[in-house]
Amino acid sequence: MKLLIDAGNTRLKWRLEQAGGVIDEGWSALRGPDPLADIGIHPGNVSRVAVSTVIHEVKRLELLSYLERKLSAPVHFYWSEAERCGLRNSYVDVRAMGADRWHAMYGAWKHCNGGYAVIDAGSAITVDYVDGSGEHLGGYILPGMTMMLNSLKNDAARIVFDAREVFVGHPGKSTGECVNQGLSWLIQAMIGRLEVDMANFNLRAMLVTGGDAGRLLELGLKGAYHPSLVLEGLAHIDREVSGE
CA 165 centroid distance within chain? 25
Q: Is the overall model pTM greater than 0.85, yes or no?
A: yes
Residue 144 sits in a domain whose CATH number is: 3.30.420.40
- Domain presence at residue 101: no
Q: Which of the four pLDDT bands, split at 50, 70 and 90, describes residue 32?
A: confident
In a domain, 236, yes or no: no
Residue 220 domain-assigned? yes
Using the predicted structure, report yes or no on whether residue 160 has a pLDDT greater than 70. Answer: no
Structural domain ending residue among the three candidates 77, 98, 127: 77
Domain-embedded: residue 107: no
Enter the DSSP assignment of 96: G
Residue 162: pLDDT over 80:
no
CB 154 within 8 A of CB 142: no
For position 166, what pLDDT does the model report?
52
Q: For 63-77, 159-173, 175-189, which range has the lowest pLDDT when averaged over its residues?
A: 159-173
Q: Which residue range(s) make up the domain with 10?
A: 2-77
Catalytic residue status for 155: no
- Looking at the structure of the chain, the number of domains it has is 2
Which pLDDT score is estimated for 61?
96
Task: Tell me the per-residue pLDDT of 174-195, one tens digit each, with 9 for 90 and over.
Answer: 877 888 888 889 999 999 999 9
Q: Same domain for 123 and 38?
A: no
Could you tell me if 7 and 55 lie in one domain? yes
Q: 49-83: buried (b, 16+ CB within 10 Å) or exposed (e) per residue?
A: bbbbbbbeeeeeeebeeebeebbebebeebebbee
- Is 32 part of a structural domain of the chain? yes
Q: What is the structure's pLDDT at 244?
A: 82
Q: How confident is the model at residue 184, as a pLDDT?
A: 87
Of 6, 100, 212, 238, catalytic: 100
